[in-house]
Amino acid sequence: MVAALGVSPQPAVAQQNVEAQQHLFRTLFLPAPLAVPDAAPARAALFNATATQAKTTPAPEPEHTGFAALARDTVSDFAAFPRRKSTWVILGIGAGAALLVHPADDYVQEHAPGSKAADNFFKLGKYLGSVYAQAGVAVGLYVAGRFIAPAAKDAPRTNKLSHLGFDLMRGLIVSQAFTQGIKYAVRRDRPTGECCAFPSGHASAAFTTASILERHLGYRGAWPTLVGASYVALSRITDNRHFLSDVVFGSALGIATGWTVVGRHGRENFAFLPVPVRGGVALTFMRVPRTAAEGAH
């Protein structure tokens, strides 16, 4: 604190100096607002801001979905995959879960296959989760949207169908490249003694598709695909083609790949938000737009 003391023979001038000093003091050192314990917390602004974020529209569809754009964006997906925080979080959780269930691999494999009821129930999983079926759906949507659906003259051949097929093809290319690379690096034998089991290609393909569809359709519209991906993953155990840890890590690899593909155009994320309440703080779990949670991924 600096104090100034002055004596002036002119009272009017002295009074003006005092008033100027007081005004400067009040300007520099504003009093803190008084806290009122019994007042209800001002949450309206907080929730209004959250509501505004939730209504933020996702980024527009890509301008180009041609073969050149497919090649360029797929290369970009490979480059983005290791740079995303979510990749290592999801793969870390998947690896930890695979290590956790690994001691039970032999026990599960002794009891899961061989049941006629289970074999009949999971029979379709072998075909639904195959890369050929997944790629067929992706290419079919892409072709239908780009070459069959009507478009305005001289307008880009990009619409919801071609955009979805475009993303699904990118996801399958990236996920299967990583899956096959890990398979031949690890070279874990299948329960039947063949190579190579870890990770499950069916599980990674199915969960790549499911995670991409979740972005395009929303979690309410895409939950059947998540159930279907789980069905495909479990079918590989009853079919005696994979151990439990194979499908666990394969599922995580598929989700991480799908999120890489869709992560650059407005994917929503989950986040915790502290909300002040009387007597403490409440934590709310909500969905926020990708732009509001850029650092999380």
Contact 248, 197 (CB under 8 A): no
Q: Phi-psi category of 60—alpha, beta or left, where left has phi over 0 and alpha has psi -120 to 50?
A: beta
Contact 237, 113 (CB under 8 A): yes
What's the pLDDT tens digit per position in 202-257?
999 999 999 999 888 887 778 888 899 999 999 999 999 999 999 999 999 999 99
pLDDT at residue number 150: 73
Q: Where are the domains of the chain?
A: 67-265, 268-297
The CATH architecture one would assign to domain 67-265 is Up-down Bundle (1.20)
Alpha carbon distance 267, 260 (integer Å): 10
Alpha carbon distance 243, 137 (integer Å): 27
Alpha carbon distance 273, 41 (integer Å): 15
Token reading at 224: 């059947």
- pLDDT tens string for the chain (297 positions)? 444 444 444 455 445 554 655 554 455 444 544 444 444 444 444 334 434 333 434 444 665 677 888 899 999 999 999 999 999 999 999 999 999 999 999 999 988 887 788 888 898 998 988 889 999 999 999 999 888 877 656 556 678 888 999 999 999 999 999 999 999 999 999 999 999 999 999 999 999 999 999 888 887 778 888 899 999 999 999 999 999 999 999 999 999 999 999 986 644 444 444 555 555 545 444 444 444 444 443
pLDDT at residue number 220: 79
Token reading at 179: 């899956």
